[in-house]
Amino acid sequence: MNGAILSGATSLIVTSATGYPTAPFMIVVDANTASEELILVGAKSGTTFSSLTRGADGTSAAGHSSGAAVAHVVSATDIDEFDGHRWDTPAVAADTDVAASSIHHTLGTGATQAATGNHAHGTTGLTFSGARVFRNAGLSLVNNTLTAISWDSESFDPGGLHSGSSSQVTLNTVGYWLVMAAVGFQADATGYRQVSIIPNAVSGASSIQSATGATSDTYVPLSVIVQATAVTDYYEVKVKQTSGGNLAIVAGQAASWTACTYLGT
């Protein structure tokens, strides 16, 4: 962050806006510290983020110093809003038929289909199917080694898709799932950082970016659509770093997490 802000500020300036989406979107400031805060950005112009909603998703508005780490994240609110919207919409884009557990980056081929399956019966009496889990304890990554993250904490998991400290999240309904992940890597200026979403231990999708710098943590987000063809299907999030030595991820609910929600058949 370029310049300090007080807890009541409604705008802030970042050193670079590269990679941030069109507003509105959610950011986390000072992740995994006592000042960690989620902020909803209502408008973006260059490196200036404005119309801020402070203390989002149950966090508290706080003052932040110049140089504080800022990262784009997907929050529990985003997932809830997405899940509500898909049932309020009478028709959704149909995806192209593909092999089991394949991954799509873009929904739709121009055709539409009504929402079907045991999760869509009008607009009432719906049951949410999904989960959000995160890494609360530290995890050191060996250089240049693809490593599955074992998730040790849960934000929510009403359907029991995750168990204990497993690296696997079960996709327990046949159909399409939105799967998201974001992982923070501790500050180091060398090499690249990779986050991959891999269904059923086969090939998946990856997001790779260069290390942010020696004094700033690197945050890598990724979202994909996965087709589950059996109720035992699952996915893992695997990460890699090439700093030249061991490097830890940034632990915490807003820093390193994955979430999924069922879309339909």
From first to last of the 265 residues of the chain, give the pLDDT tens digit.
999 999 999 999 998 888 788 888 888 898 778 888 889 999 999 999 999 999 987 789 999 999 998 888 766 556 555 555 444 444 444 443 333 333 333 333 333 333 333 333 344 456 789 999 999 999 999 999 999 999 999 999 999 999 999 999 999 999 999 999 999 999 999 999 999 999 999 888 888 899 988 999 999 999 999 999 999 999 999 999 999 999 999 999 989 999 999 999 8
Domain 91-264: state its class: mainly beta
DSSP one-letter string for 66-124: TT--EEEE--HHHHHHHHHHHHHSSEEEPPPP-STT-EESS--SS-EEE--STT-STTS
Q: What pLDDT does residue 84 have?
A: 52
Q: Which of 211, 138, 224, 209 is nearest to 176 (CA)?
A: 224
Domain ranges of the chain: 11-73, 91-264
Phi and psi based region of residue 80 (left: phi greater than 0; alpha: psi -120 to 50; beta: remaining) = alpha
pTM above 0.85, yes or no: no
Q: How many other CB atoms are found less than 10 A from the CB of residue 203?
A: 12
CA 94 from centroid of its chain's CA atoms: 23
First to last CA, the chain: 42
Q: Which of 131, 143, 138, 243 is nearest to 179 (CA)?
A: 131
